[in-house]
Structure 1
Amino acid sequence: MSEELKTIKELADELGISKKYLQNKISYEKKKQNLSIGNWKKISGKNTIVLSDKEQTLIKSWLNSLEDKQEDKADSLEDKQEDKADSLEDKQEDKADSLEDKQEDKADSLEDKQEDKEKSYLKERISVLEKFLDKEQTSNSELKKIIQQTQNLLDQQQRLALQDKKVLEEYKSEINELKALKMPQEDMKDGSSIRGEAQEEIERLKAQLKLSEEERNKAKEKEPVKTESKKWWQLWK
């Protein structure tokens, strides 16, 4: 059968006395009798003193006398009052801590709200600045586009001017060539005379040809008409 171990608090509750009174009694008897009572044991993650069955019996024997009971009662009452005072003090401290925590939470909440408000304002400013920058970039892009178009027009006009200049030079060159090919006035007169003589020669040859044809036609008209004689055996046909 396993031994039933109890803590000082559990034994005090069993005996109807305060934990503090029982601790004081155990400390007193330990010093008086030079005893070693209780062993450390880890319960619910905490190191706690536990009492064996023999130690519990010994402690109970100390509390059996009437004097001890009276003293225990007085001490227990005193301890209870002290426990009550401690409990009240703890409650007040807890209340003060709770109030302080609430005030700190409220301050933190106000600080968070202020920080959120500042963040929201900064985000809005950033958005406005970004839109402004986008607009500026768009304007710069359009300006660059206009400048490029103007430059293209200037280049085109320069090319057209060069082409016009080239055409003009070619035209002048052709005029100079025509001037170089133009004959003097005297040569023009000699040419007209030659053409006149050639035309007269052509007319003379045409007249001679016509006369020759007329004579040939007259000669043909004077020739006798030949008739074919038939053979005697063809007369009855």
Structure 2
Amino acid sequence: MSENLKTIKELADELSVTKQNIQYHYQRLPKELQLKSSNGSNLINSKAEKIILGKVESSSKSNTKDQQISSKENFEDEKLDNPFINRLIKEVEYLKIDKDKIISTKDQQIEKLTNLLDQQQRLALQDKKLLEEYKSEINELKALKMPQEDKKEKDKKENQSQEEVQTLKKQMEALNDKIKGQEQANNQSSKKWYQFWK
């Protein structure tokens, strides 16, 4: 191994932090960066050292520009070296793109539904206006027909009243004929009695 490997204690002494702090960050490294020596002790290569250095610096809450740049570099190094992180980043980017497509599709669907609703409301308003026009036309036609119907009804009533008058006249004539017939019968009977006494 031509690479410069360090133990946890050596890195802790170099960074002036506790061995437990370095051990904590070491355990959270990707598995391919966790190296072991032949006797079983933990070893740290340069990539792992950069990552741990970034974590230690960020946990110390020193907000200098150099530390921010180094933590970004460490994250970029970690991101490029870790296939799991790379896959997660790709999935997140895909989901962002997919989310944007879904949102734009939903926006288009909402716009179409809004247009359809607007058209439906216009058609309903047109139908209402047409119905009102038809009703007014029907009322006008009824008004025109009513005098004719009234005239027909008047003619019918006049015909009926004339017929009733004629039937009443006939009945009166029949009664007059009966009365005359009875008067004649009475006159004849009175003559008979009169002749009998003579």
Shorter-chain TM-score category?
0.3 to 0.5
Structure 2 length-normalised TM:
0.43
Say which one has the larger Rg. 1
